[in-house]
Amino acid sequence: MVTNRPRLPGELSFMALMVAFSAFMLWTSFHISKFDSISSPGVFPMLCAGLMLVTGLMSLRQAWMSSSSADDTHTVFQQFVIQLAPLKLVLFTSLIVAYMLALEVTGFLLSSYVFLLLSMQVLGSKKIVVNLLVSALVLICIFIVFQTAFSVVLPVGSLMGPYTPEWLK
């Protein structure tokens, strides 16, 4: 049964990239053993890449034939942002990147506490007191498990290291 569904924003570009990637993988897998025999090392990767290329071409054709998105109130870029990169996702991803960068400077305890607190806010929790307590309890549990049970040395950070008590190191 063929249904005429609207094309999602970015679907055509994504499918074109998948076809290009599949073709590249087929070409690369061919160069493993040049298809010397049916039992050569490159046969299975070529079969997988060939199947990926065929299904990618089918999906690209289907995306090409489907009508453009039915939403006329937003541009294609706005639709892409609304559906695939909503503000909550962008903020949470930014928090993860900031956490990774802060670990070396402020250390595990402070950066993890701030990350947990802010991530609960971004993900929708508006109870500040509960967020403060839950972040502290979770961090205490993580610290006890990793520091005591697994003997993992958690980073103290270059900024907080000199001021951190020895029992927290």
Domain boundaries, the chain: 11-71, 87-168
- Cα–Cα dist 131/112, whole Å: 13
Give residue for tokens 């559906």. 83
**DSSP reduced 3-state for 130:** helix
> What is the DSSP secondary-structure string of 4-31?
-PPPPTTHHHHHHHHHHHHHHHHHHHHH
Contact in structure between 18 and 56 (CB atoms under 8 Å)? yes
Q: Both tokens of residue 68? A: 């453009």
**DSSP reduced 3-state for 62:** helix
Distances (CA, A) of 167 to 144, 155, 160: 12, 13, 14
**DSSP reduced 3-state for 157:** coil
- 150 pLDDT above the threshold of 60: yes
- Residue 167: its pLDDT value, please? 65
Higher local confidence (pLDDT), 71 or 26: 26
What are the pLDDT digits (tens) for 116-131?
999 999 999 999 999 9
